[in-house]
Amino acid sequence: MDRRQFMQLSAAGLLGLTVGGQISLEAKRMRKNGDYSIVILGDTHFDTEPVDVYHSNYNEPVEWLNCVQREEFRRNGEMWRERCPRLLNNAARLIDRKTRMVFQMGDLIQGDCGKGEVHQKMLSDVMNHFKGVLGGLPFVTVCGNHDIRGTDAEKTYHDYMPKRMSEELGAPVEKTTFSFKIGDDAFIFIDFNSPDDEAIEQCLKDTEGARYTFIVSHGPVFPIDGDSVRWFFHGGASEKHTEKRRYFRRKFAERNAIVLCGHTHYTEHYDWYGDGGRITQMTMSSVWTDESLKNYELYDDGPQAFGSRNKQAGMRPDGSKVKDESALFDEYREGLRIYNRSKAQGSYKLNISKDRVSVDFHGGDSKEVTKTFILR
């Protein structure tokens, strides 16, 4: 047995993961007690100063997009100078004896490196740095749009990250869509950038009978209220995407799925009933661009507000007019029981037991719980 095999088997045993049909002793203990936690980071957009560390080969030719992305480099460098390291250190303090691993909701890095080798260095640097700060716990990330953005970035991510996730989980991961179980609970990680529907179907099949089913995706499964409404899982306007969106919405609802996601840079809580079941979505973000965003203040609250921001939106950064997507929001609004969102940024702790699933939000670097969301 080589070192990598040993680390994989050791990780599986410690985590209580189901690996190759074999149930570890820790998994058996967890099936009896059933309670554990997972620390979660939202989008992190890891970057650094000076800008040429990762972006010296940046080569976006479209002027307006170049301006937008260079402003993101400036934003990231500023927040990772001091503020986001405080957030990361605080996330490490949330870890206790019941914590099994750390999740990250995609857009782990900024991307835009302009060269595959630099993109891989950015991925490797952040994985090693986060692992060190977070006490060496398995660190599991889902693919975001920034994680594959830039020259040769998508190929680099697909070559690098499944191998890294195999090491983290102690089980083979071959794609950016994969699943595993902790005790009786299923975790299905979905690459929403290019959904592999066949792989998602297989993950659902492999995890049938789970106590709780968690869908982990960078992009949400509900429309995004604002100017980028359709940037969600199978959110395209075509007939094919509409069919796929409704199909998987029904599949997830039948499992009473809990969706963990990022992408919007908001802290959001949805609870939707329809298609014969229920989907609860928790959107999380760690893009702490301003000190004030440690405070949880409601930006939208109540199902009646869902879609209102889209109606108010004017022009996109490229100068095109935002489309009114009222019909799409109407399709979901009737089933919404809970809809709220805040611009607050921080870290999160998912607490799972046989009687309850909740998320404790810690705004910024707050040691105290800022707000608790009850998901089940």
Look at residue 34 in the predicted model and tell me its pLDDT.
77
Three-state SS sequence of the chain: CCHHHHHHHHHHHHHCEEECCEECHHHHHHHHHCCEEEEEECECCECCCCCHHHHCCCCCCCHHHHHHHHHHHHHHHHHCCCHHHHHHHHHHHCCCCCEEEEEECCCCECCCCCCHHHHHHHHHHHHHHHHHHCCCCCEEECCCCHHHCCCCHHHHHHHHHHHHHHHHHCCCCCCCCEEEEECCEEEEEECCCCCCHHHHHHHHHHCCCCCCEEEEECCCCCCCCCCCCCCCCCCCCCHHHHHHHHHHHHHHHHCCCEEEECCCCCEEEEEEEECCEEEEEEECECCCCCHHHHCCCEEEECHHHCCHHHHHCCECCCCCECCCCHHHHHHHHCCEEEEEEECCCEEEEEEECCCCEEEEEEECCCCCCCEEEECC
Query: Could you list the residue range(s) of the whole structural domain that residue 323 is in?
Result: 25-374
Query: 82 in a domain, yes or no?
Result: yes
Count of structural domains within the chain: 1
Q: Does residue 248 sit within a domain? A: yes
Q: What contacts 24+ positions apart, CB below 8 Å, involve 321-328? A: 322/227, 323/229, 325/223, 325/229, 325/230, 328/223, 328/229, 328/230
Q: What is the pLDDT of residue 24?
A: 43
Question: What is the mean pLDDT of each successive set of 10 residues along the chain, which is 376 residues long?
Answer: 46 54 46 83 98 96 96 98 98 98 98 98 98 96 98 98 97 97 97 96 97 98 95 96 98 98 98 98 98 98 96 87 95 97 98 97 98 98
Q: Tell whether 317 is covered by a domain.
A: yes
Q: How far apart are CA 147 and CA 158, in angstroms?
A: 10
The predicted model scores a pTM of 0.93
Whether residue 355 is contained in a domain is answered as yes
CA atoms within 13 A on the CB side of 215: 29
CA triplet 107, 110, 115: central angle to 5 degrees? 120
In-domain check, residue 54: yes
Residue 251: predicted pLDDT: 98
**Is residue 11 one of the residues assigned to a domain?**
no
Q: What is the pLDDT of residues 159-215, one digit of tens each?
A: 999 999 999 999 999 999 999 999 999 999 999 999 999 999 999 999 999 999 999
Q: Would residue 32 count as lying in a domain?
A: yes
The Cβ of residue 276 has, within 10 Å, a number of other Cβ atoms equal to 9
pLDDT reported for residue 169: 97
The pLDDT value given to residue 1: 43
Does some domain include residue 162? yes
pLDDT at 9: 47
The domain that contains 274 carries what CATH number? Answer: 3.60.21.10
